[in-house]
């Protein structure tokens, strides 16, 4: 769950700037990532960039890092900032239109995902107290129940379904509502707000209206949990206010807002991309069917093989050198997680899907101080969803003749739909 976990660059990120190659100069490799070919399959383009210009400066002055070693080091380097004000200044310096981004981040305030230490460490420590491994694992039974219900409905509706619409998208919404104790009767309205957040760039005023309504709803929910706590994550976060390094009321509201909204699409497309990869690799699908116990490692490999968050954005806070190139303060840096996960210097035969791959230290959920807090929950949901689909639908396959289209944001790897027959 990060600020770059956005719907087509609309929520919490200004999205990628469009490189403009100089016709008189050499080809800007960054421009290739915006082509239809790269939208369908970016990995050959990453391979070329790793070979020819692994620390690449685009024509617009944005840095692109594609090697595992460089990105892993960058994720832990505090000279590369995630601070919202620095990020805004960097985009403005490039001539970016940040009306949507700046108004939204002003509404959200300072949260873990748009701060640097020491604020980030304090906010993260408090969230970690509530978002424990025990609490996540306790959701397994509920996730299984939700997945079974979604598959039942998909099967009853007919032999063909869009797996994104019927299973992968509804699952994380249902799970996060249970985790945060959002009452069942309120969930349709919450889903409506989430849908509105995903269209930020279409109508900023309507989106801000939805954000305001959602904030008012969360504030009421927080007041209720303070008066009558339950066994949910909002109650756990409220309880941290009685401890040292307490959350302010504003920070509590912003933290709840971001934690609830940030992970839904990442989880959706971890499942979607993972199922697609299995259907395209019948040998690996057969291995998983023969040995369901492989599912945990399988999810790690699926997350590596076709990474949902292809890149995250940082801004240089202090001059530093990477790969023999000097990055100057104020410049933007795109850390391409999708490229690092196919780096042959780190992974043997990286373009091969191998559900039993050893030493699979991919960077799909980041690394360092901003490592994704919701990663374990996303992987648990994918574990249950993919494992159950494989077990319950032995005839699952891609629908004949159905085209696969990907959303246009090169920082994210997300299917528009996944038509399958079962």
Q: What is the pLDDT of residues 329-368, one digit of tens each?
A: 999 999 999 999 999 999 999 999 999 999 999 999 988 7
Q: What is the pLDDT of residues 134-149, one digit of tens each?
A: 888 888 999 999 999 9
Is the pLDDT at 409 greater than 90? The verdict is: no
State phi, psi for 125 to the nearest 5 degrees.
Answer: -60, -40
Q: State the average pLDDT over residues 216-240.
A: 88
Is the pLDDT at 86 greater than 90? The verdict is: no
Max Cα-Cα span within the chain: 68
Q: What is the pLDDT of residues 9-62, one digit of tens each?
A: 333 344 455 544 444 335 688 899 989 999 999 999 999 999 999 999 998 899
Give the predicted TM-score (pTM) of the model: 0.87
What confidence tier does 8 reach under pLDDT thresholds 50, 70, 90? very low
Q: Are 223 and 229 in contact (CB under 8 A)?
A: no
Percent of the chain at pLDDT > 70 equals 80
Q: Are 39 and 8 in contact (CB under 8 A)?
A: no
Q: State the average pLDDT over residues 152-169.
A: 95
Q: State the average pLDDT over residues 381-385.
A: 97
């Amino acid at each position: 769950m990060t600020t770059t976990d956005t719907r087509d660059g609309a929520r919490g990120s200004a999205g990628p700037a469009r490189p403009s190659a100089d016709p008189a100069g050499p080809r800007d490799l960054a421009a290739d990532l915006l082509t239809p070919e790269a939208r369908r399959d970016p990995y050959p383009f990453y391979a070329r960039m790793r070979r020819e210009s692994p620390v690449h400066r685009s024509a617009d002055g944005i840095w692109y890092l594609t090697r595992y070693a460089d990105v892993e080091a960058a994720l832990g380097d505090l000279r590369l900032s995630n601070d919202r004000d620095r990020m805004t200044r960097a985009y403005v310096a490039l001539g970016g239109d940040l009306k949507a981004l700046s108004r939204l981040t002003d509404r959200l305030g300072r949260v873990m995902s748009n701060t640097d230490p020491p604020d980030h460490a304090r906010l993260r420590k408090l969230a970690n107290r509530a978002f424990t491994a025990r609490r996540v694992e306790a959701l397994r039974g509920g996730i299984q129940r939700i997945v079974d219900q979604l598959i039942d409905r998909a099967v009853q509706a007919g032999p063909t379904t869009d797996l994104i619409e019927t299973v992968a998208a509804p699952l994380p919404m249902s799970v996060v509502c249970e985790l945060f104790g959002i009452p069942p009767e309120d969930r349709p309205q919450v889903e409506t707000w989430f849908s509105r957040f995903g269209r930020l760039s279409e109508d900023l005023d309507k989106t801000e209206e939805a954000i305001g309504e959602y904030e008012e709803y969360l504030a009421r929910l927080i007041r209720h949990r303070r008066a009558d706590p339950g066994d949910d994550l909002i109650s756990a976060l409220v309880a941290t206010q009685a401890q040292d390094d307490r959350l302010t009321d504003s920070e509590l509201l912003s933290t709840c807002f971001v934690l609830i909204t940030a992970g839904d699409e990442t989880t959706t497309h971890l499942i979607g991309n993972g199922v697609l990869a299995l259907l395209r690799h019948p040998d690996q699908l057969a291995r998983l069917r023969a040995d369901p116990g492989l599912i945990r490692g399988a999810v790690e490999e699926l997350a590596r093989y076709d990474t949902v968050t292809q890149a995250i954005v940082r801004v240089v806070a202090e001059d530093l050198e990477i790969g023999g190139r000097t990055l100057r303060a104020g410049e933007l840096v795109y850390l391409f997680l999708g490229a690092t996960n196919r780096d042959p210097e780190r992974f043997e035969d990286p373009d091969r899907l191998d559900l039993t791959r050893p030493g699979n230290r991919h960077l799909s959920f980041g690394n360092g101080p901003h490592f994704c807090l919701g990663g374990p929950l996303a992987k648990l949901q994918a574990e249950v969803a993919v494992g159950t689909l494989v077990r319950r639908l032995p005839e699952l396959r891609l629908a004949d003749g159905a085209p696969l289209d990907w959303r246009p944001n090169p920082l994210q790897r997300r299917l528009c739909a996944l038509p399958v027959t079962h």
